[in-house]
Amino acid sequence: MDAQYYIDLEEQFGAHNYQPLDVVLQRGEDIWVWDVEGNKYLDCLSAYSAVNQGHSHPKIKQAMIDQLQKLTLTSRAFHNDQLGLFYQELCALTNTHKVLPMNSGAEAVETVIKAVRKWGYKIKGIPPDRAEVIVCQDNFHGRTISIIGFSTNQQYRDGFGPFTPGFKIIPFGDTGALEKAITPNTVAFLVEPIQGEGGVIVPPTGYLKEVKSICEKHNIVAIFDEIQTGLGRTGKLLAEEHDGVEADVTLIGKALSGGFYPISAVLSNSEVLGVFMPGDHGSTFGGNPLACAVARAALKVLIEEKMIENAAKVGDYFMSKLKAVKSPHIKEVRGKGLLIGVELVPEAGGARRFCKQLLQQGLLCKETHESVIRFAPPLTISKKDIDWAMDRIEPVLKGA
Ligand SMILES: *Cc1c(COP(=O)(O)O)cnc(C)c1O
Protein backbone atom coordinates (compact mmCIF):
# COMPACT_ATOMS: atom_id res chain seq x y z
CA MET A 1 0.00 0.00 0.00
CA ASP A 2 1.29 3.45 -0.78
CA ALA A 3 1.28 6.38 1.63
CA GLN A 4 -1.85 7.93 0.15
CA TYR A 5 -3.90 4.85 1.07
CA TYR A 6 -3.13 5.29 4.79
CA ILE A 7 -3.52 9.05 4.64
CA ASP A 8 -6.98 8.62 3.07
CA LEU A 9 -8.05 6.21 5.82
CA GLU A 10 -7.10 8.73 8.50
CA GLU A 11 -8.83 11.47 6.57
CA GLN A 12 -12.02 9.44 6.20
CA PHE A 13 -12.36 7.92 9.66
CA GLY A 14 -10.38 10.14 11.99
CA ALA A 15 -11.21 13.43 13.65
CA HIS A 16 -9.22 16.14 11.94
CA ASN A 17 -7.58 17.59 15.03
CA TYR A 18 -4.07 17.38 13.52
CA GLN A 19 -2.52 18.43 10.24
CA PRO A 20 0.39 16.01 9.79
CA LEU A 21 2.97 16.28 7.04
CA ASP A 22 2.42 13.80 4.20
CA VAL A 23 4.65 11.01 5.44
CA VAL A 24 3.43 7.64 6.76
CA LEU A 25 5.93 6.12 9.15
CA GLN A 26 6.26 2.43 9.70
CA ARG A 27 9.49 1.68 11.53
CA GLY A 28 12.02 3.42 13.75
CA GLU A 29 15.48 2.76 15.05
CA ASP A 30 17.43 5.23 17.17
CA ILE A 31 17.43 8.61 15.37
CA TRP A 32 16.02 7.18 12.12
CA VAL A 33 12.50 6.37 10.94
CA TRP A 34 11.29 4.76 7.72
CA ASP A 35 8.06 5.38 5.83
CA VAL A 36 5.83 2.80 4.14
CA GLU A 37 7.66 3.35 0.86
CA GLY A 38 11.03 2.57 2.45
CA ASN A 39 12.35 6.16 2.58
CA LYS A 40 14.56 6.94 5.56
CA TYR A 41 14.37 10.10 7.64
CA LEU A 42 16.26 11.69 10.50
CA ASP A 43 13.71 12.41 13.22
CA CYS A 44 14.22 16.00 14.34
CA LEU A 45 11.06 16.14 16.47
CA SER A 46 11.37 12.97 18.58
CA ALA A 47 7.60 12.92 19.11
CA TYR A 48 7.78 16.31 20.84
CA SER A 49 10.70 15.05 22.98
CA ALA A 50 9.05 11.78 24.05
CA VAL A 51 11.70 9.77 22.20
CA ASN A 52 14.82 11.29 23.78
CA GLN A 53 16.36 7.80 24.07
CA GLY A 54 15.90 7.14 20.33
CA HIS A 55 13.27 4.99 18.64
CA SER A 56 12.79 1.43 19.85
CA HIS A 57 15.73 1.47 22.23
CA PRO A 58 16.63 -2.24 22.59
CA LYS A 59 17.00 -2.18 26.38
CA ILE A 60 13.71 -0.40 26.98
CA LYS A 61 12.06 -2.74 24.49
CA GLN A 62 13.41 -5.78 26.35
CA ALA A 63 12.25 -4.42 29.72
CA MET A 64 8.79 -3.91 28.26
CA ILE A 65 8.67 -7.42 26.80
CA ASP A 66 9.87 -8.95 30.08
CA GLN A 67 7.28 -7.09 32.10
CA LEU A 68 4.37 -7.73 29.77
CA GLN A 69 5.03 -11.42 30.00
CA LYS A 70 4.53 -11.15 33.77
CA LEU A 71 1.95 -8.53 34.69
CA THR A 72 0.62 -5.38 33.03
CA LEU A 73 -2.13 -3.82 35.11
CA THR A 74 -3.34 -4.24 38.65
CA SER A 75 -4.92 -0.84 39.29
CA ARG A 76 -3.88 0.87 42.49
CA ALA A 77 -6.42 -1.17 44.44
CA PHE A 78 -3.44 -3.47 45.00
CA HIS A 79 0.31 -3.01 45.22
CA ASN A 80 2.62 -4.17 42.46
CA ASP A 81 6.32 -5.00 42.60
CA GLN A 82 7.42 -2.30 40.12
CA LEU A 83 5.86 0.88 41.54
CA GLY A 84 7.95 1.21 44.71
CA LEU A 85 11.19 0.54 42.85
CA PHE A 86 10.22 3.10 40.22
CA TYR A 87 9.56 5.67 42.98
CA GLN A 88 12.84 4.90 44.72
CA GLU A 89 14.95 5.18 41.56
CA LEU A 90 13.18 8.30 40.33
CA CYS A 91 13.48 10.02 43.73
CA ALA A 92 17.18 9.20 43.98
CA LEU A 93 17.80 10.52 40.49
CA THR A 94 15.84 13.76 40.83
CA ASN A 95 16.30 14.42 44.56
CA THR A 96 12.55 14.16 45.09
CA HIS A 97 10.60 13.17 48.18
CA LYS A 98 7.23 12.14 46.79
CA VAL A 99 5.98 10.92 43.42
CA LEU A 100 2.52 10.62 41.94
CA PRO A 101 2.39 8.70 38.65
CA MET A 102 -0.13 9.47 35.92
CA ASN A 103 -0.31 8.72 32.19
CA SER A 104 -0.26 11.85 30.05
CA GLY A 105 1.41 15.17 30.65
CA ALA A 106 -1.92 16.96 30.88
CA GLU A 107 -2.95 14.61 33.67
CA ALA A 108 0.19 15.46 35.61
CA VAL A 109 -0.69 19.15 35.24
CA GLU A 110 -4.29 18.54 36.37
CA THR A 111 -2.96 16.54 39.31
CA VAL A 112 -0.65 19.30 40.51
CA ILE A 113 -3.40 21.90 40.22
CA LYS A 114 -5.58 19.78 42.51
CA ALA A 115 -2.68 19.27 44.91
CA VAL A 116 -1.70 22.95 45.20
CA ARG A 117 -5.31 24.04 45.60
CA LYS A 118 -5.79 21.60 48.46
CA TRP A 119 -2.41 22.63 49.90
CA GLY A 120 -3.62 26.25 49.78
CA TYR A 121 -6.77 25.46 51.74
CA LYS A 122 -5.41 22.93 54.23
CA ILE A 123 -1.88 24.22 54.86
CA LYS A 124 -1.78 27.86 53.84
CA GLY A 125 -5.27 28.63 55.12
CA ILE A 126 -6.82 30.26 52.06
CA PRO A 127 -10.63 30.72 52.24
CA PRO A 128 -12.65 28.02 50.40
CA ASP A 129 -12.72 28.20 46.58
CA ARG A 130 -10.50 31.28 46.38
CA ALA A 131 -7.18 29.67 45.40
CA GLU A 132 -5.32 31.31 42.51
CA VAL A 133 -2.62 29.79 40.32
CA ILE A 134 -0.39 32.10 38.29
CA VAL A 135 0.65 30.96 34.79
CA CYS A 136 2.45 32.54 31.81
CA GLN A 137 1.47 33.96 28.47
CA ASP A 138 2.13 31.56 25.58
CA ASN A 139 2.25 28.62 27.98
CA PHE A 140 1.63 25.07 26.87
CA HIS A 141 0.54 22.60 29.54
CA GLY A 142 -1.81 20.28 27.63
CA ARG A 143 -5.31 20.11 26.21
CA THR A 144 -7.86 19.47 28.96
CA ILE A 145 -10.60 21.99 29.63
CA SER A 146 -8.95 23.41 32.77
CA ILE A 147 -5.57 23.71 31.06
CA ILE A 148 -6.77 25.33 27.83
CA GLY A 149 -8.80 27.70 30.00
CA PHE A 150 -5.51 29.38 30.98
CA SER A 151 -3.93 29.16 27.52
CA THR A 152 -3.40 32.42 25.63
CA ASN A 153 -3.60 30.66 22.26
CA GLN A 154 -7.01 31.61 20.88
CA GLN A 155 -7.36 28.49 18.74
CA TYR A 156 -6.77 26.20 21.72
CA ARG A 157 -9.71 27.88 23.52
CA ASP A 158 -12.10 28.89 20.78
CA GLY A 159 -15.40 27.08 21.10
CA PHE A 160 -14.51 25.13 24.24
CA GLY A 161 -15.71 27.35 27.10
CA PRO A 162 -16.86 27.78 29.84
CA PHE A 163 -13.53 27.34 31.58
CA THR A 164 -12.25 26.62 35.08
CA PRO A 165 -11.72 29.82 37.08
CA GLY A 166 -8.80 30.57 39.39
CA PHE A 167 -5.91 31.33 37.03
CA LYS A 168 -4.00 34.54 36.44
CA ILE A 169 -1.79 35.09 33.39
CA ILE A 170 1.47 37.08 33.41
CA PRO A 171 4.26 37.57 30.82
CA PHE A 172 6.89 34.81 30.67
CA GLY A 173 10.39 35.69 31.87
CA ASP A 174 9.19 38.66 33.91
CA THR A 175 9.78 38.30 37.66
CA GLY A 176 8.44 41.78 38.38
CA ALA A 177 5.09 40.73 36.92
CA LEU A 178 5.14 37.64 39.13
CA GLU A 179 5.67 39.72 42.29
CA LYS A 180 2.83 42.03 41.29
CA ALA A 181 0.39 39.21 40.50
CA ILE A 182 0.72 37.52 43.88
CA THR A 183 -2.19 37.99 46.29
CA PRO A 184 -2.95 36.42 49.68
CA ASN A 185 -4.93 33.76 47.75
CA THR A 186 -2.09 32.74 45.43
CA VAL A 187 -1.15 29.09 45.88
CA ALA A 188 1.28 28.43 43.04
CA PHE A 189 3.18 29.62 40.00
CA LEU A 190 3.22 27.16 37.09
CA VAL A 191 5.92 27.72 34.47
CA GLU A 192 7.96 25.97 31.78
CA PRO A 193 11.76 26.41 32.10
CA ILE A 194 11.81 26.95 28.34
CA GLN A 195 8.52 27.41 26.49
CA GLY A 196 8.58 24.58 23.97
CA GLU A 197 5.29 24.82 22.09
CA GLY A 198 5.41 28.59 22.58
CA GLY A 199 8.26 28.65 20.07
CA VAL A 200 11.34 27.56 22.07
CA ILE A 201 11.37 30.71 24.18
CA VAL A 202 14.35 30.87 26.56
CA PRO A 203 13.83 33.16 29.59
CA PRO A 204 16.52 35.57 30.86
CA THR A 205 19.43 33.90 32.70
CA GLY A 206 18.64 33.33 36.36
CA TYR A 207 14.87 33.57 35.82
CA LEU A 208 14.02 30.28 37.53
CA LYS A 209 16.28 31.09 40.45
CA GLU A 210 14.53 34.40 40.97
CA VAL A 211 11.14 32.73 40.53
CA LYS A 212 12.01 30.22 43.21
CA SER A 213 13.06 32.89 45.69
CA ILE A 214 9.92 34.97 45.05
CA CYS A 215 7.79 31.87 45.60
CA GLU A 216 9.61 31.13 48.84
CA LYS A 217 9.20 34.69 50.06
CA HIS A 218 5.42 34.62 49.49
CA ASN A 219 4.89 31.01 50.52
CA ILE A 220 3.62 29.85 47.13
CA VAL A 221 4.45 26.62 45.36
CA ALA A 222 6.92 26.85 42.45
CA ILE A 223 5.84 24.31 39.82
CA PHE A 224 8.15 23.73 36.86
CA ASP A 225 6.55 21.91 33.94
CA GLU A 226 9.52 19.92 32.60
CA ILE A 227 7.38 17.58 30.51
CA GLN A 228 9.25 18.76 27.41
CA THR A 229 12.47 20.25 28.84
CA GLY A 230 13.15 17.45 31.31
CA LEU A 231 14.97 14.13 31.04
CA GLY A 232 18.06 15.38 29.28
CA ARG A 233 16.53 17.44 26.49
CA THR A 234 18.36 20.66 27.39
CA GLY A 235 21.65 18.99 28.33
CA LYS A 236 20.79 18.53 32.03
CA LEU A 237 18.54 15.90 33.57
CA LEU A 238 16.13 18.73 34.42
CA ALA A 239 16.36 22.18 32.82
CA GLU A 240 16.03 23.79 36.27
CA GLU A 241 19.57 22.56 36.98
CA HIS A 242 20.91 25.22 34.59
CA ASP A 243 19.77 27.75 37.20
CA GLY A 244 20.90 25.61 40.12
CA VAL A 245 17.39 25.45 41.59
CA GLU A 246 14.86 22.83 42.55
CA ALA A 247 11.17 23.48 42.13
CA ASP A 248 8.79 22.55 44.93
CA VAL A 249 7.04 20.45 42.30
CA THR A 250 8.42 19.31 38.95
CA LEU A 251 6.31 17.66 36.26
CA ILE A 252 7.77 15.10 33.88
CA GLY A 253 6.22 12.96 31.15
CA LYS A 254 7.00 12.41 27.48
CA ALA A 255 10.51 10.82 27.55
CA LEU A 256 9.85 9.12 30.89
CA SER A 257 9.07 5.96 28.91
CA GLY A 258 11.38 6.65 25.96
CA GLY A 259 8.32 6.70 23.72
CA PHE A 260 7.07 3.22 24.54
CA TYR A 261 4.14 3.94 26.78
CA PRO A 262 2.28 6.92 28.22
CA ILE A 263 3.60 7.72 31.68
CA SER A 264 3.96 11.01 33.51
CA ALA A 265 4.81 11.93 37.07
CA VAL A 266 4.43 14.69 39.62
CA LEU A 267 7.69 15.04 41.58
CA SER A 268 7.11 16.93 44.78
CA ASN A 269 8.28 17.90 48.21
CA SER A 270 6.48 16.02 50.97
CA GLU A 271 4.26 18.92 51.92
CA VAL A 272 2.40 19.42 48.63
CA LEU A 273 1.69 15.81 47.65
CA GLY A 274 1.23 15.13 51.36
CA VAL A 275 -2.23 16.72 51.16
CA PHE A 276 -3.65 13.81 49.14
CA MET A 277 -5.59 11.31 51.24
CA PRO A 278 -6.83 7.92 50.00
CA GLY A 279 -9.67 8.57 47.57
CA ASP A 280 -8.69 12.18 46.73
CA HIS A 281 -7.23 11.38 43.35
CA GLY A 282 -6.53 8.43 41.08
CA SER A 283 -6.09 6.87 37.68
CA THR A 284 -6.81 3.31 36.57
CA PHE A 285 -3.59 3.05 34.58
CA GLY A 286 -1.44 5.45 36.64
CA GLY A 287 1.50 3.61 38.19
CA ASN A 288 0.79 0.30 36.48
CA PRO A 289 3.62 -2.26 36.52
CA LEU A 290 4.18 -2.15 32.76
CA ALA A 291 4.58 1.64 32.78
CA CYS A 292 6.86 1.48 35.82
CA ALA A 293 9.11 -1.22 34.34
CA VAL A 294 9.38 0.70 31.07
CA ALA A 295 10.11 3.99 32.85
CA ARG A 296 12.78 2.37 35.03
CA ALA A 297 14.55 1.13 31.89
CA ALA A 298 14.08 4.45 30.09
CA LEU A 299 15.70 6.37 32.98
CA LYS A 300 18.49 3.83 33.26
CA VAL A 301 19.59 4.07 29.62
CA LEU A 302 19.34 7.86 29.71
CA ILE A 303 21.95 7.91 32.49
CA GLU A 304 24.07 4.86 31.65
CA GLU A 305 24.47 5.70 27.99
CA LYS A 306 25.37 9.30 28.84
CA MET A 307 22.63 10.72 26.66
CA ILE A 308 22.36 13.87 28.77
CA GLU A 309 26.06 14.71 28.38
CA ASN A 310 25.71 13.99 24.68
CA ALA A 311 22.71 16.34 24.42
CA ALA A 312 24.79 19.15 25.95
CA LYS A 313 27.79 18.54 23.70
CA VAL A 314 26.04 17.83 20.40
CA GLY A 315 23.40 20.46 21.17
CA ASP A 316 26.09 23.15 21.39
CA TYR A 317 27.59 21.90 18.15
CA PHE A 318 24.22 21.87 16.34
CA MET A 319 23.37 25.34 17.64
CA SER A 320 26.70 26.79 16.50
CA LYS A 321 26.21 25.28 13.03
CA LEU A 322 22.68 26.69 12.77
CA LYS A 323 23.82 30.10 14.00
CA ALA A 324 26.50 30.14 11.30
CA VAL A 325 23.92 29.82 8.50
CA LYS A 326 23.63 33.12 6.66
CA SER A 327 20.09 33.41 5.39
CA PRO A 328 17.73 36.37 4.99
CA HIS A 329 14.90 34.11 6.23
CA ILE A 330 16.37 33.59 9.70
CA LYS A 331 15.50 35.98 12.50
CA GLU A 332 17.02 34.10 15.43
CA VAL A 333 18.43 30.72 16.49
CA ARG A 334 17.87 29.90 20.16
CA GLY A 335 17.49 27.09 22.64
CA LYS A 336 19.46 24.90 25.00
CA GLY A 337 20.97 21.47 24.52
CA LEU A 338 18.99 19.66 21.84
CA LEU A 339 15.91 21.86 22.11
CA ILE A 340 16.54 24.37 19.36
CA GLY A 341 14.25 26.80 17.59
CA VAL A 342 15.00 28.63 14.37
CA GLU A 343 12.70 31.62 14.15
CA LEU A 344 12.04 32.93 10.67
CA VAL A 345 11.31 36.50 9.68
CA PRO A 346 7.65 37.26 8.85
CA GLU A 347 8.50 37.63 5.12
CA ALA A 348 9.77 34.03 5.00
CA GLY A 349 6.22 32.78 4.49
CA GLY A 350 5.95 30.57 7.57
CA ALA A 351 7.93 27.62 8.86
CA ARG A 352 5.71 24.91 7.41
CA ARG A 353 6.95 25.29 3.85
CA PHE A 354 10.51 24.84 5.10
CA CYS A 355 9.46 21.74 7.02
CA LYS A 356 7.96 20.34 3.80
CA GLN A 357 11.26 20.91 1.99
CA LEU A 358 13.22 19.35 4.83
CA LEU A 359 10.96 16.30 4.56
CA GLN A 360 11.95 15.98 0.89
CA GLN A 361 15.56 16.05 2.03
CA GLY A 362 15.05 13.30 4.60
CA LEU A 363 14.51 15.29 7.80
CA LEU A 364 11.36 15.22 9.90
CA CYS A 365 10.75 18.64 11.41
CA LYS A 366 7.67 20.37 12.71
CA GLU A 367 6.89 24.04 12.84
CA THR A 368 5.75 25.56 16.08
CA HIS A 369 4.04 28.94 16.41
CA GLU A 370 3.90 29.24 12.60
CA SER A 371 7.28 30.94 12.28
CA VAL A 372 9.61 28.64 14.26
CA ILE A 373 11.23 25.42 13.07
CA ARG A 374 12.01 23.22 16.07
CA PHE A 375 15.04 20.93 15.97
CA ALA A 376 14.83 18.33 18.75
CA PRO A 377 16.35 15.03 17.60
CA PRO A 378 16.84 12.07 19.95
CA LEU A 379 19.65 12.70 22.46
CA THR A 380 21.66 9.86 20.96
CA ILE A 381 22.52 11.85 17.83
CA SER A 382 26.23 12.27 16.99
CA LYS A 383 28.18 15.20 15.56
CA LYS A 384 28.53 13.21 12.36
CA ASP A 385 24.75 12.92 12.10
CA ILE A 386 24.50 16.68 12.67
CA ASP A 387 26.94 17.23 9.79
CA TRP A 388 24.72 15.02 7.60
CA ALA A 389 21.68 17.03 8.70
CA MET A 390 23.35 20.42 8.19
CA ASP A 391 24.28 19.48 4.60
CA ARG A 392 20.52 19.35 4.00
CA ILE A 393 19.24 22.01 6.42
CA GLU A 394 21.55 24.79 5.25
CA PRO A 395 20.47 24.82 1.58
CA VAL A 396 16.80 24.67 2.60
CA LEU A 397 17.17 27.58 5.04
CA LYS A 398 19.03 29.58 2.41
CA GLY A 399 16.66 28.73 -0.43
CA ALA A 400 13.53 30.50 -1.54
C1 LIG B 1 3.52 18.02 25.79
C2 LIG B 1 3.41 18.90 26.97
C3 LIG B 1 2.37 18.75 27.91
C4 LIG B 1 1.21 17.81 27.70
O5 LIG B 1 1.57 16.48 27.62
P6 LIG B 1 0.54 15.41 26.98
O7 LIG B 1 1.20 14.09 27.27
O8 LIG B 1 0.46 15.71 25.52
O9 LIG B 1 -0.75 15.59 27.69
C10 LIG B 1 2.40 19.56 29.04
N11 LIG B 1 3.37 20.45 29.22
C12 LIG B 1 4.38 20.62 28.35
C13 LIG B 1 5.44 21.64 28.63
C14 LIG B 1 4.42 19.87 27.19
O15 LIG B 1 5.40 20.07 26.29
DSSP assignments along 383-400, one per residue: HHHHHHHHHHHHHHHH--
Find the angle CA(365)-CA(351)-CA(40) to the nearest 5 degrees: 25
DSSP sequence for 322-365: HHT---TTEEEEEEETTEEEEEEPGGG--SHHHHHHHHHTTEE-
253 and 369 belong to one structural domain = no
The boundaries of the domain holding residue 376 are 3-56+306-398
Atom of ligand 1 nearest to the CA of 104: 7
Active-site residue set: 140, 225, 254
Whole-number Å distance, alpha carbon 118 to ligand 1 midpoint, is 23
207 and 72 belong to one structural domain = yes
**What pLDDT, on a 0 to 100 scale, did the predictor assign at position 369?**
86
**What pLDDT, on a 0 to 100 scale, did the predictor assign at position 126?**
98
The pTM of the full predicted model, rounded to 2 decimals, is 0.98
Boundary-marking domain end, from 266, 284, 304:
304
**What pLDDT, on a 0 to 100 scale, did the predictor assign at position 129?**
98
Whole-number Å distance, alpha carbon 140 to ligand 1 midpoint, is 7
Per DSSP, 255 falls in state G
Contact between residue 207 and residue 243 where contact means Cβ atoms under 8 Å apart? yes
Within 10 angstroms of residue 87's Cβ, the number of other Cβ atoms is 18
Atom of ligand 1 nearest to the CA of 142: 4
Rama region for 75: left / alpha / beta (φ>0; ψ in -120 to 50; rest): left
- The total domain count for the chain is 2
Alpha carbons 284 and 102: distance in angstroms, whole number: 9
Contact between residue 299 and residue 237 where contact means Cβ atoms under 8 Å apart? no
Alpha carbons 207 and 379: distance in angstroms, whole number: 25
**Beta-carbon-side half-sphere exposure of residue 115 (alpha carbons within 13 Å):** 31
139 and 250 belong to one structural domain = yes
Alpha carbons 127 and 17: distance in angstroms, whole number: 40
145 and 184 belong to one structural domain = yes
184 and 242 belong to one structural domain = yes
Rama region for 372: left / alpha / beta (φ>0; ψ in -120 to 50; rest): beta
Ligand 1 pocket residues where CB is under 6 Å: 48, 104-106, 109, 140-142, 192, 196-197, 225, 227-228, 253
Atom of ligand 1 nearest to the CA of 253: 7
- By most ligand atoms within 8 Å of CB, the mutation choice from 140, 145, 146 for ligand 1 is 140
270 and 393 belong to one structural domain = no
CA torsion, points 312, 318, 321, 324, in degrees to nearest 10?
-70
Q: Give me the sign of the Cα torsion angle 350, 356, 357, 358.
A: positive
Contact between residue 116 and residue 219 where contact means Cβ atoms under 8 Å apart? no
Q: pLDDT by residue (tens digit) across 182-233?
A: 999 999 999 999 999 999 999 999 999 999 999 999 999 999 999 999 999 9
368 and 384 belong to one structural domain = yes
Alpha carbons 50 and 264: distance in angstroms, whole number: 11
- By most ligand atoms within 8 Å of CB, the mutation choice from 45, 107, 141 for ligand 1 is 141
**What pLDDT, on a 0 to 100 scale, did the predictor assign at position 227?**
98
Contact between residue 24 and residue 7 where contact means Cβ atoms under 8 Å apart? yes
Closest residue by Cα to residue 270 from 123, 84, 108, 109: 123
Alpha carbons 292 and 211: distance in angstroms, whole number: 32
Whole-number Å distance, alpha carbon 141 to ligand 1 midpoint, is 5
Contact between residue 379 and residue 307 where contact means Cβ atoms under 8 Å apart? yes
Within 10 angstroms of residue 217's Cβ, the number of other Cβ atoms is 10
Alpha carbons 22 and 356: distance in angstroms, whole number: 9
- Using a 10 angstrom Cβ sphere, with 0-12 exposed, 13-18 middle and 19 or more buried, the burial of residue 77 is exposed
371 and 296 belong to one structural domain = no
**What pLDDT, on a 0 to 100 scale, did the predictor assign at position 197?**
95
- CATH number, domain of 96, equals 3.40.640.10
Boundary-marking domain end, from 264, 286, 304:
304
Contact between residue 238 and residue 267 where contact means Cβ atoms under 8 Å apart? no
327 and 213 belong to one structural domain = no
pLDDT along the chain (400 residues), means of 10: 94 95 97 97 98 98 98 97 98 97 98 98 98 98 98 96 98 98 98 97 97 98 98 98 97 98 97 98 98 98 98 98 98 98 96 96 94 98 98 94
Alpha carbons 206 and 109: distance in angstroms, whole number: 24
Query: Is the bond preceding 58 in cis, omega lying within 30 degrees of 0?
Result: no
Q: Which residue's C-alpha comes closest to atom 5 of ligand 1?
A: 105
Alpha carbons 157 and 179: distance in angstroms, whole number: 27
Boundary-marking domain end, from 271, 304, 337:
304
- CATH number, domain of 391, equals 3.90.1150.10
374 and 318 belong to one structural domain = yes
Whole-number Å distance, alpha carbon 70 to ligand 1 midpoint, is 30
Q: pLDDT by residue (tens digit) across 114-165?
A: 999 999 999 999 999 999 999 999 999 999 999 999 999 999 999 999 999 9
87 and 179 belong to one structural domain = yes
Largest Cα separation within the chain, whole Å, is 62
**What pLDDT, on a 0 to 100 scale, did the predictor assign at position 1?**
77
Q: Which residue's C-alpha comes closest to atom 11 of ligand 1?
A: 141
Whole-number Å distance, alpha carbon 226 to ligand 1 midpoint, is 9
91 and 30 belong to one structural domain = no
Contact between residue 46 and residue 28 where contact means Cβ atoms under 8 Å apart? no
